[in-house]
A and B are shown apart, each in its own frame.
Chain A
Amino acid sequence: MEFTEVFAQLFSPVTFGLVLLGCLAGIVLGAIPGLAGGMAITVLLPFTFAMEPIMAMAILMGIYVGGESGGYIGSILLGIPGTPANVATVYDGFAMTKKGEVTRALSIATVSNLLGTVPSILIAMLACPVIAAFAIKMGPWEYFALALMAITLVVSLSKGKMFKGFIAAALGLFITQIGYAPISATPRFTFDSYYLAGGFDTLTVLIGIFAGATVFINYAKGDQEKHATFTPKIGHFHFPLQDLIDNTFNIIRSFFIGLFIGFLPGMGPALSNVVSYSTAKNSSKHPDEFGKGCPEGIFAPEVANNASVGGAIIPMIALGIPGDGTTVLLLSALTIQGISAGPLLQQNNPTLVNMIFLAAIVSAIFSLIIQIFGLRLFPLLMEVPYHYLYPTILIISFIGVYANTCNIFSLFCALGFTFLGIWMTWADIPVTPFILSFVLGGTLETNFRQAISFAGGNWTTFFTRPVSCILILTAVFCVAWPFLKDAISQIKQKHERKG
């Protein structure tokens, strides 16, 4: 019943046209190297403020899916990934171009995008109600433990720089605490400033750290002048039937890697494309061909990074916890529209949730069509004038912040976060733990205090409740595992030397 309503809305001329535009914008911005995947949504988010939630989410899904699809263009044509989700595509994609098979490479990647996105969304549609039904039974203990696990999972990924990962998480936590505390509304770190009392808005932080820092650093480093020009001619799209048949198992495996990694909170296409590529290489019968232009090396990362789209949507809709960096923005969009995300989202807003799924599927199909017909125009994207592009992005980003908060102070804050982003790049501190703990900090604290209140001041209830206990232990394990692994291998080595 709700589906027909959603269909009708999606295929109404205005919405349809805007989703198409969103897709196009996503592909273009995703393709341009130097603009990270989330930038497209960050920059275009303010456009959706005046729209109704359903339309806003439809367009944002178009931009999201388009952005995840377009990134391979730079990887294949110039060996420069459009987004971090397309790094692994460079190895074989660019090699294929150099061999003269650029059309084949582009066709494979285009088809991979669809193969990754659509099934993952379908699985999300089936999984979300199940997970949400389970999640509704969760109490504040479980929410706290889940948020904790999400943050520690991401921190544990920064192996080799765990200290920095924790510093990032601590920073995010601190920044989100500025303002009024949850539950008791006690002012914290406001220094009697009227402006600080409101705390920092998510968009302000994200625009500073992503858009602002990227443009500033690019100017400082003069990066935009280093792009080569692309000369070979591209033929028409050619459906890679034989390559598809040869790679069926690879595609299926890459799909599930992408789906699972996308599902894990805080990790998404940026990780899954690399993991999928290495897995494909390690389990290949001819690993030496990787890096020299073999189709497996393109299918693996491109299917995985698009499968992460559906994967990341599952926790976003079912739990209200971001599945990756870009879903953080989608969650912010929901908040700005006045909709609270969480397990009750599907119950309270079924039309909206169905629109999200449907728009994603339609966008994937749009992206396919746009890419098939636009294949020969791709080199144009690589010639974009950075000296016009970066200033425009900077202006639009900052104006977006103003449009969201309606005060100039937030622009100063965005500038401040720009400096923070620059400092974090300089110090090699990972950004994802920061973002995640900034977004989840409120949830973490509110549920922590509620849990203890309900239990009358008793802290042990976190461990007496089974789900909460398991999640917390997993969180601890994630952080401890790298150290344990090292300790175990050291012990093994000692034994081997003795024996």
Chain B
Amino acid sequence: MTRDRVTGVVALILGLFIGINAFQIPASTMSGDPGPQVFVFIPAVLLIICGAGLLITGKSKEEPFFTRTEAKRLLIISAVVLGYIISMNWLGFLLPTIVVLYILATLFGKDKNIPWWGRLIFAVVVSIAVYYLYGTVLKLKLPANKLF
């Protein structure tokens, strides 16, 4: 299955999903107003037509966009960021950010042999800088600590 064909199938399924759910949206109660239902059909129809079109005509370069290692790296960074968001929910901003910045700097700099204390200083300095800048100077809200 070429990339385009996969995209076509995804679009087709999504279009069908939207279309089916659209029927559950109540039609308009006001006279003359087409209602909230009509517009939902437009992306549904577009997705179905174009998805089918891609499926039929779809061809793309054969070499995969992500190699095995690249896909693995993608998974790693996704897991790290997901973990970051979840941990921020419970632990607030400062601690998770320091940890994540250290991890990310390690991940990005793997081949460059940056000393661990360099990464640690970076993580701590940037976290505190952002905390101060956003929290105190700009008075923006940062995730708060719920556990202790």
> Which residues in chain B, 40-96, are within 8 Å of chain A measured between CB atoms?
40, 42-44, 46-47, 49-51, 53-54, 57, 60, 65-66, 70-71, 73-74, 77-78, 81-82, 84-85, 88-89, 93
With contacts A170-B43, A408-B143 taken as known, whether A189 is within 8 angstroms of B108 at the C-beta atoms is no
* Cross-chain contact A398 with B51 (CB below 8 angstroms): no
> Which residues in chain B, 13-30, are within 8 Å of chain A measured between CB atoms?
14-15, 18, 21, 25-26, 28-30
* Cross-chain contact A169 with B46 (CB below 8 angstroms): yes
> Which residues in chain A, 399-440, are within 8 Å of chain B measured between CB atoms?
399, 402-403, 406, 408, 411-412, 415, 418-419, 422, 425-429
* Cross-chain contact B53 with A163 (CB below 8 angstroms): yes
What's the minimum C-beta distance from B119 to chain A, rounded to whole angstroms? 8
* Cross-chain contact B108 with A456 (CB below 8 angstroms): no
* Cross-chain contact B33 with A216 (CB below 8 angstroms): no
Most buried by B among A47, A189, A388, A419: A388
With contacts A167-B46, A406-B141 taken as known, whether A186 is within 8 angstroms of B51 at the C-beta atoms is no
Q: Of A365-373, A375-383, A444-452, A467-475, which stretch is located at the interface?
A: A444-452
* Cross-chain contact B81 with A415 (CB below 8 angstroms): yes
* Cross-chain contact B31 with A428 (CB below 8 angstroms): no
Contact of B40 among A188, A419, A444 (CB under 8 A): A188
Contact residues in B for A422 (Cβ distance below 8 Å): 74
A231 contacts the other chain (CB 8 A): no
* Cross-chain contact B74 with A216 (CB below 8 angstroms): yes
* Cross-chain contact B31 with A391 (CB below 8 angstroms): no
> Which residues in chain A, 221-271, are within 8 Å of chain B measured between CB atoms?
221-222, 224-225
Contact residues in B for A186 (Cβ distance below 8 Å): 25-26, 36
Interface range on chain A: under 10, 10 to 19, 20 to 34, or 35 or more? Answer: 35 or more
A1 contacts the other chain (CB 8 A): no
With contacts A169-B46, A387-B108, A391-B101 taken as known, whether A408 is within 8 angstroms of B65 at the C-beta atoms is no
Contact of B126 among A174, A385, A392 (CB under 8 A): A392
Q: Of A24-32, A177-185, A342-350, which stretch is located at the interface?
A: A177-185
* Cross-chain contact B7 with A164 (CB below 8 angstroms): yes
The majority secondary structure among interface residues of chain B is helix
Contact residues in B for A171 (Cβ distance below 8 Å): 14, 43, 47
A6 contacts the other chain (CB 8 A): no
Most buried by B among A163, A171, A390, A392: A163
Q: How far is the CA of A173 from the CA of B140 in the complex (A)?
A: 31
What's the minimum C-beta distance from A169 to chain B, rounded to whole angstroms? 7
Contact residues in B for A188 (Cβ distance below 8 Å): 25, 36, 40
Q: How far is the CA of A185 from the CA of B60 in the complex (A)?
A: 42
Q: How far is the CA of A269 from the CA of B7 in the complex (A)?
A: 29
A11 contacts the other chain (CB 8 A): no
A146 contacts the other chain (CB 8 A): no
When C-beta atoms are compared, the residue in chain B nearest to A215 turns out to be: B77
A384 contacts the other chain (CB 8 A): no
> Which residues in chain A, 281-332, are within 8 Å of chain B measured between CB atoms?
none
Q: How far is the CA of A327 from the CA of B29 in the complex (A)?
A: 37
A335-367 vs B, Cβ < 8 Å mask (1 yes, 0 no) = 000000000000000000000000000000000
> Which residues in chain B, 119-148, are within 8 Å of chain A measured between CB atoms?
122, 126-127, 130, 134, 138-143
What's the minimum C-beta distance from B16 to chain A, rounded to whole angstroms? 12
Contact residues in B for A445 (Cβ distance below 8 Å): 39
Most buried by A among B39, B40, B84, B97: B39
Contact residues in B for A428 (Cβ distance below 8 Å): 3-4, 60
A8 contacts the other chain (CB 8 A): no
* Cross-chain contact B70 with A221 (CB below 8 angstroms): yes
With contacts A219-B77, A220-B74, A411-B88 taken as known, whether A163 is within 8 angstroms of B50 at the C-beta atoms is yes
With contacts A387-B112, A391-B101 taken as known, whether A46 is within 8 angstroms of B140 at the C-beta atoms is yes
* Cross-chain contact B7 with A429 (CB below 8 angstroms): yes
A395 contacts the other chain (CB 8 A): yes
With contacts A402-B143, A426-B65 taken as known, whether A220 is within 8 angstroms of B71 at the C-beta atoms is yes
List the 9 shortest-distance A-B pairs measured between CB atoms, nearest first. Answer: A387-B109, A391-B104, A181-B36, A387-B108, A170-B46, A170-B43, A403-B140, A427-B7, A220-B74
Besides A170-B15, A184-B33, 4 more A-B contacts (Cβ < 8 Å) are A186-B26, A219-B108, A425-B65, A453-B33
Give me 19 A-to-B residue pairs in the complex whose CB atoms sit less than 8 angstroms apart, sorted by A's number: A46-B138, A164-B7, A166-B49, A173-B42, A183-B33, A184-B29, A184-B36, A220-B70, A220-B77, A395-B97, A398-B84, A406-B141, A415-B85, A427-B3, A427-B6, A428-B60, A445-B39, A449-B39, A457-B31
Q: Which residues of A contact B (CB under 8 A)?
A: 46-47, 49-50, 163-164, 166-167, 169-171, 173-174, 177, 181, 183-184, 186, 188-189, 212, 215-217, 219-222, 224-225, 385-388, 390-392, 394-396, 398-399, 402-403, 406, 408, 411-412, 415, 418-419, 422, 425-429, 444-445, 448-449, 452-457
